[in-house]
Chain A
């Protein structure tokens, strides 16, 4: 069964550094999403992406964040200058024509 994959599984970075989280969505999906989950808290929507542009974003998704689909298979989330409060699990998801979003296993980001 096709699945969403994410790399790395765990990323440790120092405050102020840039990180890029990578996702490979399901191949025939056209809608892509990033979510984050701070330890013990809700899963929160960050951004959705369709037709090579951002379709929606939340208040969390400020100028420090950007997304890109650099080629036909990858979907990336970049955090320009990480802060301690960016430490969280980051989930990528993709969706086809139906309502169901398929989530990847997540990348645990630790900012020290």
Chain B
């Protein structure tokens, strides 16, 4: 089955800096890659996603890149703010069920 690895497990940055979280996946058939943000006491919330036919997608301060050949994808957050502090999960899934296999999560801490 699919295996998703995520790094780093913890990321500490100063407000205004950029943050990058990286993931790799094992199943070349995976074609949908969502990213979730989980705040304390809440369930994961989708913040951005990318399909395998696209190399990059951007939404304001958040961008995702996908390298299908290398089977890795990354989340980039620019101009970080304290409210960006949360646990971020990458995931990979394939068409049909779109049931995600999650990475272990990255705890992002943005210091004011």
Q: Whole-angstrom distance from the CB of A76 to the nearest CB of chain B?
A: 17
**B73 contacts chain A at the CB level, 8 A cutoff:** no
Within 8 A of B (CB), among A38-87: 41-45, 48, 55-56
A93 proximity list for chain B (CB < 8 A): 43
**A25 contacts chain B at the CB level, 8 A cutoff:** no
B97 proximity list for chain A (CB < 8 A): 48, 55-56
A41 proximity list for chain B (CB < 8 A): 104
Give the contact stretch, choosing among B14-22, B44-52, B62-70, B77-85.
B44-52
B36 proximity list for chain A (CB < 8 A): 103
**B25 contacts chain A at the CB level, 8 A cutoff:** no
Checking A48, A105, A106 against B99 with a beta-carbon cut-off of 8 angstroms, the contacting residue is A48
Interchain CA distance A41-B103 in the complex, whole Å: 9
Does more than half of chain A's interface fall in helix, strand or loop, or is it mixed? strand
Question: How many A residues face the partner with a CB closer than 8 A?
Answer: 21
Q: Are B45 and A103 in contact (CB under 8 A)?
A: yes
Q: Are A91 and B104 in contact (CB under 8 A)?
A: no
Within 8 A of A (CB), among B64-112: 89, 97-105
Q: Are A105 and B103 in contact (CB under 8 A)?
A: no
**B42 contacts chain A at the CB level, 8 A cutoff:** yes
With most chain B CB atoms within 10 A of its CB, the pick from A45, A56, A105 is A45
A4 proximity list for chain B (CB < 8 A): 43
A42 proximity list for chain B (CB < 8 A): 102-105
Interchain CA distance A105-B43 in the complex, whole Å: 4
Q: Whole-angstrom distance from the CB of B47 to the nearest CB of chain A?
A: 11
B41 proximity list for chain A (CB < 8 A): 105
A91 proximity list for chain B (CB < 8 A): 43-44
| Interface CB pairs A-B, < 8 A, 16 | A4-B43, A41-B104, A42-B103, A42-B105, A43-B44, A43-B105, A45-B99, A45-B100, A45-B101, A56-B99, A91-B44, A95-B98, A99-B49, A100-B46, A105-B41, A106-B43
